[in-house]
Each structure stands twice: as C-alpha cells, then as structure tokens.
C-alpha cells in the first residue's frame, strides 16, 4: 500500500517550503508529504489521489490565500476525503475565523504561525491528530476498481470478464453515491469521467471508460495474440475438455495453444459448485477448477489466447489453418475443436432488451452479492440451475426455481434435489414457464404461466437467471467440418453413411471416435454430437484424444 498522504497548502512559497521541511523531518518515514501552492491546486491533487485510492491522513492549509481561503479549501476537500484530519494555519488576527471554522467546516485543529520550535508548537498537535486517524484507518483496496451501475449490461459484461479470468476487482455502484460518502467522494473527484460508465480504474492511475474487453485484456497483460504462426496442436475452446487436452498434449511435448473466446473454464467455469467431480469430496467451484487447470496448463508451457476468437478455418495438405478475430492466421499439424456450447436464449417478449439488466444467462456469480435480501427467479431444471439455486440461497431472501416439466427427477442429479428440498428459502415451481418480462432500463416484472391450467400471473422481479439448455456455435466452421441439424460436430461412426466414409476423408481407415470428417481435426466435449454433458466426461475425452492425435501424426509425418 502507498504511504498515506500529508498535504500542506499555502500560497506563500517560503512558508510552504518551511512547513513541508518540518513535516518531512518528522513524518517522512511513515507518510508521503505533498504540497500545493493554492487551494485549487490542492483540490486537483486530492482528486487524483482519490482516483488512485491513495489514503490521505492530514490536510494542513493556510487560512489567508487568494481565490480560495483555507476554510473553503478544507470544506471542499472533506467531500473527497472525509476521513482525513483537517488543520488550519492561522495568524493571530485570524483566530476568531479559525474558531468559527472548527464549528462550521468541521476542522479538527488550528495552529498559529510561526510554529517554532516545531517540537513544541507543531508536532504534538499533529501527533495527536495522526494517532487518532491511524486508530480508525482501514487500508483501502489496492487493486482494480470498476465503477458502474448494477443494471448496466456493459458493467455486467466487464465484471463477468474479470471474474472469469480470476482478476480481483472492487465493484463500486455509483447509484450508491448519495448514501455512501466514500462513493460520493470518488464520483466527485472524477468529475465528468464518472459519467462515462462503466469506468475501470487501475492502481497505476490509468482509467478506461466504456472499455472494450480486448483493451482491458491488454492492460491486464492477458495474452490475446499468438507468439508464433505454427503449433503442433491448436485447441479452440478453453473449457474442461480443451484444458485437459492442452495439459496432456503439452506434457508430451506438443507445442500447444488454446484459443478461448471469453475466459478459460467454459460453462463449467461459471458453475457456483460442482460436487460430483472425482477427487473433491467437498466439491469445488467452477472458477476454482478453471484456475487450477489453467495454472497446470501454463506450467507445461501451454499458450492461452483469451479473449480471442476463431472466425474461420481451412485445410491445406497436412496443415490446418485458423483465422482469428484480430485478422491473423495461425496453422498447426493437429486441430482440436472443444468450443463447448452456449446458453440457449429464452424467446419471450422483452428479453433481449433486459439482458445484463436483471436478466442473465448462466451462473451470474458476480451478481449474487447484489441479490441480498431479494427474490431471485431461476429458469431451468438441470444441474446448472440447481447449483445456481443453492448458491443464490446464501444471499437472496427467496429463490424460486421455475421448471417446465412436472418434476426435477429426470433432469437433475439426486444429490442436488435433496439439497434443494432441505433449503428453506428455495421453492420449486413445476409445470411453470415465463411468458414475458417487463422493464425499461431494468427488469421489474415477469409473467409466469402454469402449463397445466393455462393460468397466468404477473410478479415483481429484479433478477432472472436462465439455464434452459445449450446450443453450439459452430457456424464459423463453414462447409469444412460436418455437423448435425442442430450444429453439433459429427465424429467417428456418426460420419459413416451406409458404411461409406465422408468424401473429405482421405485416410485408408474409418474415422476414429473423436475424429471429424477432416483428418487431423478432432472434436471433444459438449460440442461433439452424442457427448455426455458432464465435466468429468469432457476431461476424459480431452485426455484420450491426445493419444489419438499421436497415432494420427505417426502415420502422416
């Protein structure tokens, strides 16, 4: 943490140098002594300190200054740094003004000029003030801060991006500015900048208003551009299947790169709790699983590009090429498709307008704290919905799970059903669907329908989380890689038509279990047609496919 600041303000250069000298002599080992030659200059300094989250312990201002006297300076400074101790330097003739300032401007102390010797006339008073400040001081957060509003789609997107990339940050809701003096002081210090939201503040003073995610990634040092143009193994998708393949491939000597559109971990990374993953009897969060897997992959030298997106693909002889969203093209000997799936959209009136402003797809772990004391609605009957319900039950007053089917038994693991039944503030409404959502800038109401009776009811709602199945995003593969009618990638025996191999298959054998219709392109995980939608099965496929790759490479090289 940077040293707390002692700021002295005086328009007389000689007096300013003298007070700065005495402050440094006594306090430089514990505090950072700064000076300003006018009230306006002092306020500019304080705004920058506030934006950087640097603590200010003491403000010491001379009373007689042109344009802005000491009392007015300290009054305005209090709005930005309400916890700083405030002292006024006065001449004998200003004593009455100083006494009035103690009552009107909440000044803690006034000091007479001259203050020689400082050991008797300066330090004892300041020691008391600083001792008092230190006793109540709580070190400020030193990392990244994100300013925005809870109901902003862009703010939600930024918070989710940071959380999924394991980047610690402090969320500051500017709508709380009137109720929280610290938030109000920060907003005031930023001036017009605070109107361009979301705004991300970095510890070095850098500010990014309405930042696109690639710009944030660059500032954070996340790698988004490939180090070379050729790899032994390229993996599209950084979920459990892709990460497992990367670990096994790199550990066996393959130069490996992962291209991940959002953040490593995939859908599993959004899960609040995974309790049936082998080897973790107490369960673990998806974020924790992703963090461990990423650390393991990087230890073996895997290059992870995130956020980065593959937007095109082609095949040329024994090589496979990917075109990335940044316009570059990289190639490889072996390509693995492990993109997973994306949440299916809820097709009801008003839903698109409110996404990120009360309507959320997936885990929404960054929203859980904001839902404290509220009623949360969750749509879905599979494990992801059940895990989310258990997570939100720790914060929300009530969690209502809306299930289209007649029960959870056919779609959710038994252990989760038991946990939900034992949680007092979770309710499950079966045979229920959402037919409409309402709100202009944020979600305010939803309409539900009981499918058995057709009865409809409009309910107040501020948070709706949707887990209604998933669909692949494989359009970018064009005509090169064969897929089923829903977009899932075909592999192995599913490629054979009446016992015949695909016309694009050039090897003198049938495609293997995890091979696509193009030799050298493999597929694993949820994006594969017929896959088992479980984290453990994805990890297993990722581990197994590397052996198939070695067999392929041994034949073609």
Residue 200 belongs to domain with CATH number = 3.40.30.10
Q: How many CA atoms lie within 13 A of 183 on its CB side?
A: 15
pLDDT band at 481 (very low <50, low <70, confident <90, very high): very high
Same-domain status, 53 and 132: yes
Q: What is the mean pLDDT of residues 377-393?
A: 93
Structure tokens at 252: 């066996």
Position 94 pLDDT exceeds 80 = no
- Give me the pLDDT at residue 100, please: 67
Same-domain status, 429 and 499: no
- Tell how strand 398-402 and strand 426-429 pair up: parallel
From residue 365, alpha-carbon distances to 85, 255, 411, 463 in Å are 39, 34, 22, 12
Spatial contact of 327 and 432, defined as CB atoms under 8 Å apart: no
Position 57 pLDDT exceeds 90 = yes
Whole-number Å distance between alpha carbons of 39 and 7? 11
User: Which one has a higher pLDDT value, 188 or 248?
Assistant: 248
Same-domain status, 269 and 385: no
Position 267 pLDDT exceeds 90 = no
Asked if residue 460 is part of any domain, the answer here is: yes
Mean pLDDT check: name the lowest of 93-102, 140-149, 457-466, 481-490: 93-102
Output DSSP code: residue 524.
-
What is the value of pTM for the model shown?
0.81
Spatial contact of 393 and 399, defined as CB atoms under 8 Å apart: yes
Spatial contact of 385 and 344, defined as CB atoms under 8 Å apart: no
Spatial contact of 303 and 226, defined as CB atoms under 8 Å apart: yes
Spatial contact of 489 and 338, defined as CB atoms under 8 Å apart: no
- Give me the pLDDT at residue 141, please: 83
Position 268 pLDDT exceeds 90 = no
Share of residues in the chain with pLDDT > 90 (%): 69
The structure tokens 């501020």 sit at 462
Residue 160: CB atoms within 10 A of its CB come to: 22
> Of 105, 136, 167, which residue is a domain's last?
136
Q: What is the mean pLDDT of residues 52-73?
A: 91
Q: How many domains does the chain have?
A: 4
Asked if residue 22 is part of any domain, the answer here is: yes
Same-domain status, 390 and 503: no
- The pLDDT tens digits of the residues spanning 359-375 come to 998 766 677 888 889 99
Same-domain status, 256 and 207: no
Contact residues for 359 (Cβ-Cβ < 8 A; gap 6+): 351, 437, 443, 464, 466
Whole-number Å distance between alpha carbons of 248 and 334? 14
- Give me the pLDDT at residue 364, please: 65
Same-domain status, 150 and 121: no
Position 548 pLDDT exceeds 80 = yes
Mean pLDDT check: name the lowest of 107-111, 311-315, 408-412: 107-111
CATH classification of the domain holding 99: 3.40.50.2300
From residue 209, alpha-carbon distances to 205, 292, 557 in Å are 13, 32, 50
pLDDT band at 311 (very low <50, low <70, confident <90, very high): very high
Q: What is the mean pLDDT of residues 18-29?
A: 95
Q: Report which of 167, 468, 475 is spatially closest to residue 345, judged by C-alpha positions.
A: 468
Q: Hey, CA dihedral for 87, 6, 57, 133, is it positive or negative? A: negative
Asked if residue 478 is part of any domain, the answer here is: yes
Mean pLDDT of the chain: 91
- The pLDDT tens digits of the residues spanning 506-528 come to 999 999 999 999 999 999 999 99
pLDDT band at 444 (very low <50, low <70, confident <90, very high): very high
Structure tokens at 401: 């799970």
SS3 content of the chain, % helix, strand, coil (to 5): 35, 25, 40
Q: What is the mean pLDDT of residues 466-481?
A: 93
Q: What is the mean pLDDT of residues 381-391?
A: 92
Whole-number Å distance between alpha carbons of 551 and 487? 28
pLDDT band at 214 (very low <50, low <70, confident <90, very high): confident
Q: In angstroms, how far is CA 171 from the centroid of its own chain?
A: 10
- Give me the pLDDT at residue 493, please: 94
Q: Provide the residue range defining the domain that includes 245.
A: 230-341+472-556
pLDDT band at 15 (very low <50, low <70, confident <90, very high): very high
Whole-number Å distance between alpha carbons of 148 and 145? 10
- Give me the pLDDT at residue 104, please: 67
Q: Is 514 helix (H, G, I), strand (E, B) or coil?
A: coil
- Give me the pLDDT at residue 66, please: 87
Whole-number Å distance between alpha carbons of 420 and 374? 18
- Give me the pLDDT at residue 193, please: 87
Asked if residue 353 is part of any domain, the answer here is: no
> Of 220, 250, 277, which residue is a domain's last?
220
Backbone angles phi, psi at 233, to 5 degrees: -135, 125
Same-domain status, 381 and 461: yes
Asked if residue 348 is part of any domain, the answer here is: no
Same-domain status, 481 and 466: no
- Give me the pLDDT at residue 270, please: 76
Radius of gyration, CA atoms only, the chain: 30
- Give me the pLDDT at residue 24, please: 96
pLDDT band at 180 (very low <50, low <70, confident <90, very high): confident
Whole-number Å distance between alpha carbons of 537 and 539? 5
- Give me the pLDDT at residue 248, please: 97
Mean pLDDT check: name the lowest of 242-246, 364-368, 493-497: 364-368
Asked if residue 349 is part of any domain, the answer here is: no
Spatial contact of 239 and 266, defined as CB atoms under 8 Å apart: yes
Whole-number Å distance between alpha carbons of 341 and 237? 10
Same-domain status, 103 and 166: no
Asked if residue 347 is part of any domain, the answer here is: no
Note the maximum CA span of the chain: 105
Q: What is the mean pLDDT of residues 342-353?
A: 89
Peptide bond into 360 cis (omega under 30): no
> Of 470, 497, 529, which residue is a domain's last?
470
Same-domain status, 452 and 503: no
Whole-number Å distance between alpha carbons of 201 and 330? 34
Q: Is 496 exposed, middle or buried (0-12, 13-18, 19+ CB in 10 A)?
A: middle
Q: What is the mean pLDDT of residues 473-477?
A: 96
User: Which one has a higher pLDDT value, 315 or 188?
Assistant: 315
Same-domain status, 462 and 499: no
419: left (phi over 0), alpha (psi -120 to 50) or beta: alpha
CATH classification of the domain holding 397: 3.50.50.60
Position 101 pLDDT exceeds 80 = no
Same-domain status, 66 and 152: no
- Tell how strand 463-466 and strand 329-337 pair up: unpaired
Position 12 pLDDT exceeds 70 = yes
Asked if residue 346 is part of any domain, the answer here is: no
């Amino acid at each position: 943490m940077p040293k707390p600041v002692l700021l002295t303000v005086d328009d007389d250069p000689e007096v300013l140098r003298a007070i700065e000298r005495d402050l440094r002599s006594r306090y430089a080992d514990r505090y950072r002594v700064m000076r300003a030659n006018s009230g306006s200059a002092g306020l500019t300094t304080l705004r920058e300190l506030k934006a950087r989250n640097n603590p200010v312990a003491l403000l010491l201002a001379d009373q007689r200054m042109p344009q802005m006297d000491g009392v007015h300076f300290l009054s305005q400074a209090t709005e930005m740094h309400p916890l700083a101790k405030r002292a006024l330097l006065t001449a004998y003739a200003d004593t009455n003004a100083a006494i009035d300032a103690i009552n009107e401007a909440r000044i803690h102390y006034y000091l007479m000029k001259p203050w020689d010797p400082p050991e008797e006339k300066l330090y004892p008073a300041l020691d008391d003030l600083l001792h008092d400040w230190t006793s109540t001081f709580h070190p400020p957060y030193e990392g990244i801060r994100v300013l925005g509003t809870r109901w902003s789609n862009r703010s939600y997107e930024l918070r989710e991006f940071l959380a999924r990339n394991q980047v610690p940050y402090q969320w500051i809701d500017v709508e709380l500015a009137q109720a929280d003096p610290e938030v109000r002081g920060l907003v005031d210090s930023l001036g017009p900048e605070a109107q361009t939201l979301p705004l991300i503040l970095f510890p070095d003073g850098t500010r990014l208003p309405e930042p696109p995610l690639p710009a944030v990634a660059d500032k954070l040092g996340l790698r988004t551009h490939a180090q070379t143009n050729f790899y032994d193994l390229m993996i599209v998708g950084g979920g459990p299947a892709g990460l497992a393949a990367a670990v096994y491939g790199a550990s066996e000597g393959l130069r490996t790169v992962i291209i991940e559109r959002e953040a490593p971990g995939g859908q599993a990374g959004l899960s609040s709790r995974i309790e049936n993953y082998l080897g973790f009897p107490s369960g673990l969060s998806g974020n924790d699983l992703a963090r461990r897997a990423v650390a393991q992959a990087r230890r073996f030298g895997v290059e992870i590009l995130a956020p980065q997106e593959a937007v095109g693909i082609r095949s040329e002889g024994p090589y496979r090429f990917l075109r990335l969203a940044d316009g570059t093209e990289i190639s490889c000997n072996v390509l693995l498709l492990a993109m997973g799936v994306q949440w299916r959209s809820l097709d009801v009136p008003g839903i698109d307008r409110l996404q990120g402003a009360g309507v959320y797809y997936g885990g929404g772990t960054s929203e859980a704290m904001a839902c404290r004391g509220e009623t949360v609605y969750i749509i879905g009957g599979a494990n992801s919905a059940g895990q989310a319900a258990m997570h939100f039950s720790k914060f929300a007053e009530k969690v209502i799970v809306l299930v289209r089917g007649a029960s959870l038994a056919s779609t959710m693991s038994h252990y989760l059903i038991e946990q939900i039944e034992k949680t007092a503030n979770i309710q499950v409404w079966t045979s229920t669907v959402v037919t409409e959502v309402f709100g202009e800038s944020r979600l305010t109401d939803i309409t539900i329908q009981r499918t058995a009776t057709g009865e409809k009811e409009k309910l107040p709602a501020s948070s709706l989380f949707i887990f209604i199945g998933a669909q692949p995003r494989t359009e970018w593969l064009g005509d090169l890689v064969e897929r089923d009618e829903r977009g899932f990638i075909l592999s192995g025996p599913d490629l054979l038509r009446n016992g015949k191999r695909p016309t694009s298959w050039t090897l003198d054998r049938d495609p293997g279990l995890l091979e696509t219709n193009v030799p050298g392109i493999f597929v694993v995980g949820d994006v594969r047609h017929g896959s088992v939608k479980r984290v453990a099965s994805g990890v297993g496929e990722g581990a197994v496919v590397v052996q198939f790759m070695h067999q392929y490479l041994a034949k073609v090289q």
